[in-house]
Amino acid sequence: MTQIKDPILELIDATVVVNQGTLNEKIILDHVNFKMQAGDFVTVLGSNGAGKSTFLNVIAGSLPLTTGQILVNGQDVTKLNEIKRTHLIARVFQDPKMGTAPRMTVSENLLLAKRRGQRHRLTSRKLTSQVQNQFKTLLDQMGNGLGQRLNVATGDLSGGQRQALSFVMATITKPAVLLLDEHTAALDPKTSAQLLKVTDERIKADKLTALMITHNLEDALSYGNRLIIINAGQIEFEAKDQSKNKLTLNDLLEHFKRY
Ligand SMILES: Nc1ncnc2c1ncn2[C@@H]1O[C@H](COP(=O)(O)OP(=O)(O)OP(=O)(O)O)[C@@H](O)[C@H]1O
């Protein structure tokens, strides 16, 4: 008998209505039911305005649900705001400037990230050589010279290095759920491909549970064990494991023709 594992993330009838009671009232997340098991890596597709960021926003807690529930590791986090969810959920945005403090050095930013969700996280900026070495090892894995720039102000990094740092910061505490919001979209093709490769390696190595929004259909096919398409605030299509592996670019293009 196969054992059914408890989900890491669960959305139950998750709904967001904006401008309620006005002429502009609109359902932007429409009774979404969704579960992720440990190690699931879901690529998220959808046209502009489909509701992809809304989906990630409600999971992160930056947008409250109007009705419904969100559970992480079985804990009801529906009423917790974004800050109170940071020990469970980490996010990397499209803009390399988000998520890092420009005047702080690379290692100071990493130290803050390492202490995320802990009390007294601002007590000291001092780094032991052990922690410094740990940071260097992590950054060297990014393969873009970041490991040589531990004492450089983050604002002086290239966009690609800064985005790689944001990714390391988001994953350093092995969050229960990792949200990637088009995190490679602002990078040139080579840098983007490199960050995607290490993203995939880290998700697999640490068995992270991750959602990645992308507009790149090939990336959505190449990465992850699940793929979803959001339209009008609903999950309209889902493919998993073998059925995802069988999907082709043409299948996705056909799907998008309907919108
Ligand atoms: N706080 C809000 N108040 C009002 N409308 C909102 C709010 N947040 C999102 N919307 C609307 O909800 C719809 C979905 O937006 P969302 O940003 O989730 O789409 P998206 O799929 O991420 O689009 P894109 O690919 O362009 O980033 C859009 O029509 C948007 O204008």
Q: Which atom of ligand 1 is nearest to the CA of 50?
A: 21
**Residue 183 CB-half CA count within 13 A:** 31
| Domain shared by 29 and 99, yes or no | no
In a domain, 131, yes or no: yes
- Counted domains in the chain: 2
Q: Say what the pLDDT of residue 37 is.
A: 97
Q: Are 24 and 81 in a shared domain?
A: yes
- The pLDDT of residue 91 is 96
Q: State how far the Cα of 257 lies from the Cα of 259, in Å rounded to an integer.
A: 6
Ligand 1, atom 5: closest residue by C-alpha: 18
Same domain for 76 and 138:
no
pLDDT of residue 115: 84
- In this structure, the residue with its CA closest to atom 30 of ligand 1 is 49
The reply to whether 166 falls in a domain is: yes
Estimate to the nearest angstrom the gap between the alpha carbon of 244 and the chain centroid. 20
- Contact, 252 vs 258, CB < 8 A? no
53 lies in a domain?
Answer: yes
For residue 93, tell me if it sits in a domain. yes
Three-state DSSP class for 75?
strand
Both 10 and 67 in one domain: the answer is yes
Binding-site residues, ligand 1, Cβ < 6 A: 18, 28, 46, 48-54
Same domain, 80 and 111: no
Q: Using CA atoms, how far apart are residues 178 and 208, in angstroms rounded to an integer?
A: 7
The ipTM is: 0.96
pLDDT in tens, the chain (259 residues): 556 678 999 999 999 999 999 999 999 999 999 999 999 999 999 999 999 999 999 999 999 999 999 999 999 999 999 999 999 999 999 987 887 888 999 999 999 898 876 655 555 556 778 888 889 999 998 888 899 999 999 999 999 999 999 999 999 999 999 999 999 998 999 999 999 999 999 999 999 999 999 999 999 999 999 999 999 999 999 999 999 999 999 999 999 887 7
> Which candidate, 154, 55, 50, places its Cα nearest to that of 107?
154
In this structure, is residue 200 part of a structural domain?
no
Is residue 199 in some structural domain?
no
Domain that holds residue 81: 1-85+175-182+207-258
In this structure, the answer to whether residues 59 and 8 fall within a common structural domain is yes
Residues in CB range of 245: below 8 A, 6 or more apart:
none
How many angstroms does the Cα of residue 51 sit away from the middle of ligand 1?
Answer: 5
Tell me, yes or no, whether 67 and 96 share the same domain. Answer: no
Are residue 238 and residue 165 in the same domain, yes or no?
Answer: no
81 and 3 in a single domain? The answer is yes
Regarding whether 78 and 55 lie in a shared domain, the answer is yes
Reduce the DSSP state of residue 74 to 3 states and report it.
Answer: coil
Question: How far, in Å, from the CA of 29 to the mean position of ligand 1?
Answer: 9
